[in-house]
Amino acid sequence: MTQKLLYVKANPKADSDSHTSTLANVFVQEYQKSNPDCEIITLDLYKEGIQPLDADTLTKMFGGEKNKAYDYAQQFASADRYVIAAPMWNLSIPSILKVYIDYISYVGVSFKYTESGPIGLLSDKPRKALHVSSRGGMYSEGPAKAYDLDDQYIRTILGFFGITQVESLFLEQTGILQGDALKAAIDQSHQTARTMAANF
Domain boundaries of the chain, sorted by first residue: 4-197
Q: What are phi and psi of 124, to 5 degrees?
A: -75, -15
Contact 162, 123 (CB under 8 A): yes
The CATH class, in words, for 4-197 is alpha beta
Burial-class residue 8 by CB neighbours within 10 Å (0-12, 13-18, 19+).
Answer: buried
Contact call for residues 196 and 23 (beta carbons, < 8 A): no
Q: Name the pTM for this structure.
A: 0.94
Per-residue pLDDT of the chain (200 residues; tens, 9 = 90+): 689 999 999 999 999 999 999 999 999 999 999 999 999 999 999 999 899 999 988 888 887 778 899 999 999 999 999 999 999 999 999 999 999 999 999 999 999 999 999 999 999 999 999 999 999 999 988 999 999 999 999 999 999 999 999 999 999 999 999 999 999 999 999 999 999 999 89
Strands 119-120 and 111-112: antiparallel
